[in-house]
Amino acid sequence: MLGIAIVGAGAIAGIHMDAYKEFGKDCEIRAVCDIYEDKAAVLLEKKGIKGASVYKNLEEAIQAKGTGESGIHIVSICLPPSLHCEETIKALNSGCHVLVEKPMAGSLEECDRMLEAAGKNARLLSVVCQNRFKTPMQRIHQMIKTGEGGRITHATVNSLWWRGENYYDLWWRGTWESEGGGCFTSHSVHHIDLLQWMMGMPDSVMACMKNVGHHNSELEDVGVAVFNYPHAMAQITTSIVDHGEKQELIFQTDKGKLSIPWEPASSRAMPNGFPEEDRSALEQLERAYHAIPEMKREGHAAQIENFIHAIKGEEELLTSGEEGRKAIELIAAIYKSSVLERPVSLPLTPDDAFYRKSTMVPAMPHFFDKTKNVENFEQIEITLGRDVGK
């Protein structure tokens, strides 16, 4: 039986709890850590978890529980981004496997320190990429991987959200130091992950960004990035000023259009070069898409299932720290391009100013000064993001 400690008792921690509870034969939540201990206690009661203890921090939990048979074996990091690196390394050095929420860390240098700790301690490090574990994404990924969907020529990703100005009043949001970035980092990291999972890492990035509607934040609230590949191009628009929050990934291939949500199309040329529907090709795409079975579990639960099986040596880990690092490298390149106003080649090397937080943060624009802070918002139900693909 694997013992679980969850560090952080915010909204996302409840999602982790629900997922772990599905695997009661394999794991047990034994500790929840938060500087607001009453908040952790309320969450445990709400989720109906008995027998778990509340601690102020991970060190207290591991000291009390240990890492033996009845102790802590897995740590879920559900903290603000600026704390991901140090808390992950503490957990790994204590002999625990780690599942860390997105974004993996605030810089590539921090990612590499986390990976080094995982290797040194022979423990698994996984980064939450729950949208990979959804049926529409799995179907499109498999169609691209097998070639049934065709060769990608162009991709368009719309990661569009809406957040009120008071969203940034929470103490850790709204600064480069504590949040690590604006909507590219906090909201579109999953779309960026999905894009590179489908297409791989680009050769170069060109980007721009602004803050047009959130005056208590140093960070961007809208941006556009273009990824350049040898034989393709992709573009992503990110925003937290879009009413309706439309989100989609569209892949144009030499066989047709593959999209999430699923709205396929296929064209063929008439004698004058203009398009007409290619019904046969469209039906072939439909058959290939629907032939791939639906997942039995989706989202966090599916990823945690793979994580547990990987710890037990029964499966390959599908969302490793190395995979999580790729999105951080793309975001760092996006910020570098936006600041320098020019294309940026990949990969970024350790001598690059945008590789480490200490040199990247001073280079970033401060669109506005953060002047208002609250410790906690009122405890109300919040949305954790659109169900991309449905």
pLDDT in tens, 205-248: 999 999 999 999 999 999 999 999 999 999 999 999 999 999 99
Q: Is pLDDT of 295 > 90?
A: yes
CB 159 within 8 A of CB 258: no
Same fold, 2-130+298-319 and 132-294+326-363: no
pLDDT of residue 262: 98
132-294+326-363: CATH architecture: 2-Layer Sandwich (3.30)
Spatial separation of the C-alpha atoms in residues 40 and 379, rounded to whole Å:
12
Q: Is pLDDT of 383 > 70?
A: no
Half-sphere exposure of 352 (CA within 13 A, CB side): 19
- Taking only the tens place, the pLDDT of each residue in 11-46 is 999 999 999 999 999 999 999 999 999 999 999 999
Average pLDDT, the chain: 96
CA dist 25 to 28, 278, 308, 317, Å? 8, 50, 11, 20
Half-sphere exposure of 114 (CA within 13 A, CB side): 32
- Give strand ranges (E) for 128-185: 152-160
CB 238 within 8 A of CB 184: yes
Cβ-Cβ contacts under 8 Å for 281 (sequence gap 6 or more): 255, 256, 266, 268
Spatial separation of the C-alpha atoms in residues 250 and 389, rounded to whole Å:
11
Residue 390: CB atoms within 10 A of its CB come to: 10
Q: What is the pTM of this model?
A: 0.95
pLDDT of residue 377: 72
Q: Could you tell me which CATH number the domain at 2-130+298-319 has?
A: 3.40.50.720
Q: Is pLDDT of 387 > 80?
A: no
**Residue-range domain boundaries for the chain:** 2-130+298-319, 132-294+326-363
Spatial separation of the C-alpha atoms in residues 177 and 181, rounded to whole Å:
8
Long-range own/partner contacts, residues 278-286 (CB < 8 A, 24 or more apart): 281/255, 281/256, 282/256, 284/255, 285/143, 285/148, 285/149, 285/255, 285/256, 285/258
Tokens representing 325 are 């690092």
pLDDT of residue 385: 54
- Taking only the tens place, the pLDDT of each residue in 164-175 is 999 999 999 999
Containing 291, the helix (H) or strand (E) segment is: helix 279-291
CB 325 within 8 A of CB 201: no
DSSP codes joined into one string, 322-345: HHHHHHHHHHHHHHHHHHHTS-EE
Spatial separation of the C-alpha atoms in residues 79 and 280, rounded to whole Å:
50
pLDDT of residue 23: 97
